[in-house]
A and B are shown apart, each in its own frame.
Chain A
Amino acid sequence: GAVVSQHPSRVICKSGTSVKIECRSLDFQATTMFWYRQFPKQSLMLMATSNEGSKATYEQGVEKDKFLINHASLTLSTLTVTSAHPEDSSFYICSATSPYSGDVLTFGAGSRLTVL
């Protein structure tokens, strides 16, 4: 079945630095990818929707200059947290769909970001 790989699974960085998280579809072409943020013991918050070859669509309240999303190919989307601060510490999860997977959303394993 469809597999989405997310890397790194854990990252610790200093305040003020930037961190890039990669999301890859391993065995299918992902025309659409979604980035979620999950706070402890809470549900998923959709941050943005990225479509291959076009700009991401951000949800209300998400700073697009802080959370840069790039979906340059059908198998790779990246989320860059710029000038990270401790309040950006969270669990970030990507997911993907494609015209060939129907309406099933396939998730990556998530990336735990800790900003010191």
Chain B
Amino acid sequence: GDSVTQMEGPVTLSEEAFLTINCTYTATGYPSLFWYVQYPGEGLQLLLKATKADDKGSNKGFEATYRKETTSFHLEKGSVQVSDSAVYFCALTDRGTGNQFYFGTGTSLTVIP
């Protein structure tokens, strides 16, 4: 079945450091891939998405490229800020399996000044 495997945290970085959070997926159909962010005490917000192979999603300095050959969708940011501290979830929805969403376990990021 479909699944998402996400790099375990927690991750602690200094401000302006480079961020990578790894995400790989398994899908039987034609997945769309997402990164959601959850700030403390809040629900999830869509950060970025990509709907087909080689698409790059980007938002707020974050980027992720849909790599079909490696079944990956790694999240990157060149220079993190304290305000980026949150939990990041990789997710997929698969049109081949009725559009159900599958989430990774989440990666907690703390950015220290």
Contact = CB atoms under 8 A, between A and B. Distances in A.
Q: For this complex, into which size category does the number of interface residues on chain B fall?
A: 20 to 34
Secondary structure at chain B's binding surface: helix, strand, loop or mixed? strand
Contacts of A44: 44, 89, 103
A49 B98 CA distance: 12
A104 interface: yes
A105 interface: yes
Contact of A42 (B34, B36, B42, B105): B105
A43 B93 contact: no
Contact of A107 (B44, B104, B106): B44
Given A41-B108, A42-B106, A43-B103, A103 B93 contact: yes
Given A41-B108, A42-B106, A44-B89, A107 B101 contact: no
B106 A104 contact: no
A49 B97 CA distance: 14
A105 B101 contact: yes
A14 to B, nearest CB: 23
Nearest to A112: B41
Contacts of A41: 108
A76 interface: no
Contacts of A46: 100-101
B46 A106 contact: yes
Contacts of B108: 41
B51 A104 contact: no
B43 A6 contact: yes
B99 A103 contact: yes
Interface in A9-38: 34
Which 7 A-B pairs rank lowest in CB-CB distance, beginning with the nearest?
Answer: A107-B43, A107-B44, A109-B43, A110-B43, A43-B105, A103-B32, A43-B106
Given A41-B108, A43-B89, A46-B100, 9 more contacts: A4-B43, A42-B105, A42-B106, A43-B104, A93-B43, A93-B44, A95-B43, A97-B99, A103-B93
